Amino acid sequence: MFSHVTIGADDPEKLEGFYDAVLETLGISPFFKLPGTLSYGTAAGPKVFVLKPFDGKAHVPGNGGHVAFLAPDRAAVDAFHAKALEMGGTSEGAPGLRPHYHPNYYGAYVRDPAGNKLQAVCHSKKG
């Protein structure tokens, strides 16, 4: 459905360690890095960019929006949440089932050090 998602940051390089470590828990690798730009994913597949706002103004985290990454299993959701906290993120919702979405919806929510809200989610029964 999507080609890519962009996450804003005033200084993407300061977030490089966070995103490298946190996305690795989900099997997502860096694609390329340039000054002011981090990219994760693959050339022909889905990807996420972390970059400075194009208008040159200060980054402001969106209110009501977040990026949800697919996790291969529930253990990856747990690892994502734990690694995010270890790397300076904050919890917005501990790992767990959220059956109000559907019976197998297992997710966790965090904010990166710049305040962007992220999620890891597994939709399958397997643990």
**Strand partners of residue 108:** 120
Please report the pLDDT score of residue 92 as a whole number. 96
pLDDT tens sequence across 78-94: 999 999 999 999 999 99
- The CB-based long-range contact list for 90-99 (8 Å cut-off, 24+ gap) reads 92/117, 93/119
The answer to whether the pTM exceeds 0.85 is: yes
Q: What is the DSSP letter of 125?
A: S
**In the predicted structure, residue 24 carries a pLDDT above the cut 90:** yes
Cβ contact 45:39 at 8 Å: no
CATH number for the domain formed by residue range(s) 4-53+65-122: 3.10.180.10
Cβ contact 48:7 at 8 Å: yes
**In the predicted structure, residue 126 carries a pLDDT above the cut 80:** no
Please report the pLDDT score of residue 127 as a whole number. 64
